[in-house]
Structure 1
Amino acid sequence: MLTTDFVPGAPAWIDLGGPDRDAAAAFYGRVLGWELDGRGHFTRDGRTVAGYVPRETGAWTVHFAVTDAGRAAQAVVAAGGAVDGRTMTDPQGAEFGVWQQTGLDAVSVPGALTWLELHSPADGVSFYRTVFSWDVVTIPGAPGAFFRPAGTGAGRLFGAVVEDSAAHWLPYFEVTDVDQAAGAAEVIVEPYELDGVGRIAVLVDPFGARFGVMRSVTS
């Protein structure tokens, strides 16, 4: 699971990009209970759960913790990715970033980031293993590969690979009621139960940013 122990390679920050911050705040306020603070960050119960950056189309960008952002950018390029300012792109086209700052105040609680999926048409995870030294593991009975920060235990798994023709990172946010959240948004994947994981749905915001909501079995 995600924690606020932002060791190198762990998800440390997430930005929502879009053309209308106030409209985004209203939408995510209904769906995830967020508020917008004076710094332009999204909060839940006074704790920062996401940032916001102006962008023509809606998109979520996850950032991974590093000790040296410049060196991480060099590693991205050396491994076949690309760097354009704060935005990096893996060889398959999925956007992400690196983070050498204080991370999110809360994860894995209602209204906060709780899981990630790397959607990729090919073996996208090998790039990230090179750049971030992730441990990549398989789980008996579960499809695909899962990943965690290097040298951490089974309890630090934070994401999985999903085969998809369009490369992107899909963030999931913890909620107390998946069906209620889905009822306040356009639904891409209707709510369903995933054995051993919880209840899940995939939604899209008014500007095209896709995200998932999850009621974890352990929450």
Structure 2
Amino acid sequence: MAGEPTYIELGVPDRDTAKAFYGALFGWQLTGPGQADTAGLSIGFHGGDPSALFEVFFAVDDLDASLARVRELGGQVHGELHDSPGFGRWAECADDQGVRFGLRQV
């Protein structure tokens, strides 16, 4: 269903430190070198990100149309479109106030 959160990306300066912290806090078990799966969402961990933030990815039926709509509403599309095997097509965006989020077409 479009608009449902489908994935969370956690960008931090040190991925291993974040994995240890959130694993101890929430009991998250890692399912790969950079991912933990919860009952509702998967969380990807990546290091080397000075922004240090959670970014929520929302499901869309048509990524191209959704990105056009983001721009129409005064938002921005950051970087390139990506097509990742097993994850789908996705892009990083920001709303009209600069809040980051992702759109994902599975």
**TM bucket by the smaller chain?**
0.7 to 0.9
1:98 aligns with 2:103: yes
Larger RCO (CA under 8 A, 6+ residues apart): 2
What is the CA deviation profile of residues 172-216 of structure 1, one whole-angstrom value per residue up to 9, with x for unaligned ones?
xxxxxxxxxxxxxxxxxxxxxxxxxxxxxxxxxxxxxxxxxxxxx
1:17 aligns with 2:17: no
1:33 aligns with 2:27: yes
Computed over aligned residues only, the root mean square deviation of the Cα atoms, in angstroms, reads 2.0
Q: How far apart, CA to CA, are the structure 2 residues paired with 1:59 and 1:9?
A: 20
CA pair 53-68 structure 1, distance change in 2 beyond 3 A: farther
Task: Report if the CA contact (8 A) 2:6-2:41 is conserved.
Answer: no
* Aligned counterpart in structure 1 of residue 92 of structure 2, from 87, 90, 93: 87
CA pair 20-67 structure 1, distance change in 2 beyond 3 A: same
Q: In structure 2, what residue type is equivalent to 1:77?
A: R
Task: Report if the CA contact (8 A) 2:7-2:41 is conserved.
Answer: no
Higher strand content, 1 or 2: 2
Classify the secondary structure of the residue corresponding to 2:57. strand
Task: Report if the CA contact (8 A) 1:67-1:100 is conserved.
Answer: yes
What is the CA deviation profile of residues 125-155 of structure 1, one whole-angstrom value per residue up to 9, with x for unaligned ones?
xxxxxxxxxxxxxxxxxxxxxxxxxxxxxxx
Q: In structure 1, what residue type is equivalent to 2:6?
A: A
Classify the secondary structure of the residue corresponding to 2:17. helix
Instruction: Report the number of matched residues.
Output: 94
Classify the secondary structure of the residue corresponding to 1:74. helix
Q: How far apart, CA to CA, are the structure 2 residues paired with 1:8 and 1:99?
A: 9
Q: How far apart, CA to CA, are the structure 1 residues paired with 2:24 and 2:12?
A: 17
1:71 aligns with 2:65: yes
Task: Report if the CA contact (8 A) 2:5-2:59 is conserved.
Answer: yes
% identical aligned pairs? 38
Q: How far apart, CA to CA, are the structure 2 residues paired with 1:48 and 1:96?
A: 15
Q: In structure 1, what residue type is equivalent to 2:44?
A: G
Deviation at 1:52?
Answer: 2.1
What is the CA deviation profile of residues 5-64 of structure 1, one whole-angstrom value per residue up to 9, with x for unaligned ones?
xx111111111111211111000011111122225211358x863112331231011111
Specify the alignment match of 1:50 in structure 2. Answer: 43
Please report the TM-score for the alignment, with normalisation by the length of structure 1.
Answer: 0.39
